[in-house]
Amino acid sequence: MGPKRPKKLTVSTAVFAACSVSLLTLAGCSSEDAGGGSGGNGGGSGGTGSHSPAVPKPTEPARTGPAPAAVPSVRDFEPVRGPAWKPSKFTRVVAEPGGPLADEARLLAEELKVPFSKGPARTADVRLSLDRGLDTGREGYVMESRAGQVKIAGADHAGVFYGTRTLLQSVRARGGVADGVVRDKPDRPQRGFMLDIARKHFSARWIEDRIREMGDLKLNQLQLHLSDDQAFRVESDTHPEVVSKPHLTKAEMRRIVKLAESRHIEVIPEIDSPGHLGAVIKAHPEIQLENASGEPTEGAVDIADPRAAKIVDDLLREYADLFPGKRWHLGGDEYLALMQEDPEASYPGLAAKAREKYGRDAGVQDLATGWLNDRAAVVRDEGKIPQAWNDGIHAGGEVRAEQDREVAYWTGKEPGQRNPVTYLKEGWKLINLNDEYLYYVLGEPNKFTYPTGRRIYDEWTPAVLRGTKPVPKSLSGPEHIPGGRFAVWCDRAGAQTPEQVAAGIRNPLRATAQKLWDPGKPAMSWEDFKRLGERVS
């Protein structure tokens, strides 16, 4: 028999507890020793893993483990005995300067304060590469640390980027990484953060800081709620009269989108309709819905009036190029006409239009469903996948919601709302925004309380779509529930400053990222996870 192979390790509380002892001697790269030569070969002429007289071999004692320190935790780590890797004055990040990973390499080199080089890679370096043959999926990666060098490979750019996040976080927390092989990939393809910028203005710089934070947490979607009753927050050329002050300019939004793309984050815009359009109605009172008594309905447009549809469609088409991602959120929630005991009696004009358009048995619900179908057709023509809130997808009726859209399931508390299982059995894909765990509502109105990271970490998974109980296991996989988002709503905008919001969501966002990457029961305690989050950021 040969020497015993080290046992395969999964991340555990014990592994992380060991880190403080096993890698105490690892030191980070200081600004004084970060140079280490130019962007060229710097004296190394050998192939991958080659040594040079200018680059000494690692001299640290051989150890085994622990797994890299990262949030979310790596899902699989196979340790090997070795001296570990830490950045030094000899370290470079190596990738082809004009190649597909140049941006990821430059970013990591800047963050580690080391040069970016075309290679060839040598001892002390970090080498990035694409390997289309890996079975990690587009967001998975393999990171190998051996003989004083780190290699990060993925089948696509996003996976390599996430590998650099694991390395960077471990350097921040411990100074380096132990020798071994990480094989890591997310459980859910959609992992996001939603921000209400309509009720409260957030500066471009604040949003950009959140994007950098999201990138490190391996989150890949940023939903921006652009408009609501209180304000419309993005510059418009087609309808400048609806834009509020303050707002984000198109130049600022392009900068936000560009930064998000560099972190492999898709920006998903939301112009909510046919409710929550008060800011548009303020500029166009002629499209506001009135009830049978002639009283205006707050935030609701008259969906029987083609002028309302034209304004919304103008905005959807205008912003299609500004937001080049593949998804668009249409809203669809809380249309007040449908929240009445008898919508047809309360809004006879809508009822008459529904019968005219869809037949004598049609009602206001059918007109609302038709409205959202028409808006979905607009964004679909622009190459987008529509999304909508679950209370905009109605059961029964003469008109059915077209099933080419994804459903953002947020509540079961509104009147008449269906259990998520009914959607799943009908074949809908649900994105989890469970308001029991994932809604950070400023001012805590309507019995909301600020969510805690501990509660998300200990109790929530993507399968917990409504309340606290998961849906059946047969309906809870990624093919049914592609992921989720943590949401900030600004109902009482003055309740917190932007800085307080950033601090308040930090731990909940980390916990959400962990459970979307790996929904299993975490090995670490919440307190250990919370401390780790501070060390890796």
Residue in 334, 398, 406, 436 annotated catalytic: 334
Whether 334 is catalytic is: yes
H helices of 306-435, in order, are: 306-318, 343-346, 348-358, 364-381, 420-425
Residue matched to tokens 């989150």: 219
How many CB atoms within 10 Å of residue 106?
16
Among residues 403, 358, 357, which one has the least CA distance to residue 380?
Answer: 403
- What's the token pair of residue 459? 């109790």
Give the number of residues written for the chain: 537
Pairwise CA distance, residues 413 & 188, whole Å? 26
Contact 401, 372 (CB under 8 A): yes
- Would you state the torsion angle of the CA atoms of residues 486, 492, 497, 502, taken in this order, to the nearest 10 degrees? -10
DSSP code per residue over 431-457: EE--TTTSEEETT--TT-----HHHHH
Contact 49, 123 (CB under 8 A): yes
Contact 255, 204 (CB under 8 A): yes
Please name the residues in contact with 89: beta carbons below 8 A apart, sequence gap of 6 or more. Answer: 29, 33, 34, 35, 36
- What's the token pair of residue 300? 């609701």
DSSP label at residue 221: E
H helices of 87-203, in order, are: 102-112, 157-174
Contact 446, 425 (CB under 8 A): no
Pairwise CA distance, residues 98 & 40, whole Å? 14
- The residues annotated as belonging to the active site are 334
